[in-house]
């Protein structure tokens, strides 16, 4: 027997996907002792949008949250999501900042770091991989899954081999949009199991309505670990529910070894918390909808609602379908980047501009220009000279690893934040989110209750990986 292992995502991706990452440390801590006894492979508790949300909305120190969780969780590995050279922000950081952040993440309690690059450019993962291994943590490299004429199974097989060769301890198929179909999952997992000798994990979202079926076929194909979320924070744009998957798989020959009684108690604990966020309006009922168009347009669920919001702001809701049809065209023009942060926002915004302007690439965001110049890494497929000319004119395209162009910055960040920082962890918070962290540090010295309450009650969605935030648009 080879039981499937379960990574529980409710404390990171589950609440990020459904309630805009608003779970507080106070709401998390009381249930951890039971979660630690369930038999999970790991608890995903950090990274993604949790870091930003703690500082921006909850008036919490994300490092302190991690330390408090680690103090209670004794038996289960703690896991985080990291965007390679982007860390938890939206730009490339110098190697010295990446190395320090990873070292401190492990020192404060992280056991497994799932690291990915939006373009599957392994060069953007190299510094992270080395730092994770040096810190003694488990390095899980994630494939940003997508489909296109170049994103074939052979492409993902070669990518997984490359990840294994540079030090991955395991590989995750990260299906951020929920577009991996069941039979494709079976074939992909089969091929990857033949190609690499390290464990495979599958992460998907229930947005399109097929995730549970995808998991079943992946289990048949030999997947080692799957990501699920306890039912109050499962389904919708989150992962399939832990209890449902555990009960279903129990009838097969690879049932996970979980304490199902405890799962019920954990679900009961979170139900009133979810209801509180529903009543406050932070839980938007739309995130629980099934959206099969996700498969057709390969657009993550949160991105759909974000596009609609942008069009509403321009009083152009009638252009919604036109924008959806334009997204695959823009994506092809740009070399088929996977639609994951930050590329999902960038491609979506460019599609909106193309439709509203009535002329393709008449208006181009700064981020798209930087992408075409190679500042995010190498596009999966080459970008045509015609498209390059339209977007960046005769500007030079770089071919080196983007971070090679960056000078060390950690000492500068220390000087900038000055006495507001009490630790290297504080400096790293400032490096990632300067304005937000500075405000948090100032409030820590002189607390303003009204500011804290206002932030906690804010309905503004600030998301990272699978859901969507607005990008800065400058012509």
| pLDDT tens for each residue of 270-306 | 999 999 999 999 998 888 988 888 887 777 766 766 6
pLDDT at 23 over 60: yes
Enumerate the CATH 3.20.20.70 domain ranges in the chain, comma separated: 5-280
- Per-residue confidence band for 459, with pLDDT thresholds at 50, 70 and 90: very low
Contact criterion met (CB below 8 Å) for 455 and 58: yes
Q: Which CATH superfamily is domain 5-280 in?
A: Aldolase class I (3.20.20.70)
The beta strands (E) that lie in 218-279 are given as: 225-228
May I ask the CATH architecture of the domain 299-399? Orthogonal Bundle (1.10)
How crowded is residue 395: how many other Cβ atoms within 10 Å of its Cβ? 12
pLDDT at 52 over 70: yes
Q: Does residue 408 have a cis bond before it (omega within 30 degrees)? A: no
d(CA 428, CA 412): 11
d(CA 215, CA 221): 10
Average pLDDT, rounded, for the chain: 92
pLDDT at 84 over 50: yes
For position 453, what pLDDT does the model report?
54
* Alpha helices by DSSP H, 49-137: 50-56, 62-72, 95-107, 126-135
**What are the contacts of 91-94 at 24+ separation with CB within 8 A?**
92/124, 92/375, 92/376, 92/402, 92/403, 92/406, 93/403, 93/406, 93/409, 93/431, 93/432, 94/403, 94/406, 94/407, 94/408, 94/409, 94/410
Burial letters for 188-222: b for 16+ Cβ neighbours within 10 Å, e otherwise? bbbbbbebbeebbbbbbbbbbebbbebbbbbbebb
For position 345, what pLDDT does the model report?
85
- Per-residue confidence band for 456, with pLDDT thresholds at 50, 70 and 90: low
Q: Per-residue pLDDT averaged across 198-227, rounded?
A: 97
pLDDT at 102 over 70: yes
Enumerate the CATH 1.10.472.90 domain ranges in the chain, comma separated: 299-399
pTM: 0.92
pLDDT at 454 over 60: no
What three-state secondary structure class fits 409? coil
Contact criterion met (CB below 8 Å) for 40 and 74: no
Smallest CA-to-CA distance from 230 within 62, 23, 59, 1 is with 23
pLDDT at 156 over 50: yes
């Amino acid at each position: 027997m080879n039981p499937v292992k379960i990574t529980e995502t409710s404390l990171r991706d589950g609440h990020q996907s459904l309630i805009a990452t608003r779970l507080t440390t106070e709401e998390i801590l009381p249930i951890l002792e039971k979660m630690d006894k369930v038999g999970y492979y790991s608890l995903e508790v950090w990274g993604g949008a949790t870091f930003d949300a703690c500082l921006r909305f909850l008036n919490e120190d994300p490092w302190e949250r991690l330390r408090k969780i680690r103090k209670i969780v004794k038996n289960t590995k703690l896991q985080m999501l990291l965007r390679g050279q982007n860390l938890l922000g939206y730009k490339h950081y110098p190697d010295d900042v990446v190395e320090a952040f990873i070292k401190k993440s492990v020192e404060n309690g992280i056991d497994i770091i799932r690291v990915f690059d939006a373009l599957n450019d392994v060069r953007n993962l190299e510094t992270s991989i080395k730092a994770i291994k040096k810190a003694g943590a488990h390095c899980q490299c994630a494939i940003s899954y997508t489909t296109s004429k170049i994103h074939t199974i052979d492409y993902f097989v070669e990518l997984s081999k490359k990840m294994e060769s540079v030090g991955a301890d395991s590989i995750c198929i990260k299906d951020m949009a929920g577009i991996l179909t069941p039979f494709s999952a079976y074939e992909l997992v089969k091929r990857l199991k033949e190609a690499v000798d390290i464990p495979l994990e599958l992460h998907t979202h229930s947005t399109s309505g097929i995730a549970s079926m995808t998991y079943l076929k992946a289990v048949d194909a030999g997947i080692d670990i799957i990501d699920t979320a306890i039912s109050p924070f499962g389904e919708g744009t989150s992962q399939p529910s832990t209890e449902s998957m555990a009960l279903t798989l129990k009838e097969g020959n690879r049932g996970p070894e979980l304490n199902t009684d405890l799962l019920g108690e954990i679900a009961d604990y979170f139900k009133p918390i979810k209801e509180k966020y529903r009543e406050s309006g932070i839980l938007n009922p739309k995130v629980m909808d099934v959206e099969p168009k996700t498969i057709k347009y390969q657009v993550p669920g949160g991105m759909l609602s974000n596009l609609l919001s942008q069009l509403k702001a321009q009083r152009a809701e009638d252009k919604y379908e036109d924008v959806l049809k334009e997204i695959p065209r823009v994506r092809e023009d740009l070399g088929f980047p996977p639609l994951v942060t930050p590329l999902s926002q960038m491609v979506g915004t460019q599609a909106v501009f193309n439709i509203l302007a009535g002329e393709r690439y008449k208006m181009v965001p700064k981020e798209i220009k930087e992408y075409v110049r190679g500042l995010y890494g190498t596009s999966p497929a080459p970008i045509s000279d015609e498209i390059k000319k339209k977007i960046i004119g005769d500007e030079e395209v770089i071919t080196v690893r983007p971070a090679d162009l960056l000078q060390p910055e950690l000492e500068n960040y220390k000087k900038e934040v000055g006495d507001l920082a009490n630790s290297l962890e504080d400096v790293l918070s400032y490096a990632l989110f300067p304005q937000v962290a500075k405000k948090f540090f100032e409030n820590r010295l002189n607390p303003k209750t009204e500011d804290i309450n206002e932030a906690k009650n804010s309905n503004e969605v600030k998301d990272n990986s699978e859901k969507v935030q607005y990008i800065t648009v400058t012509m």
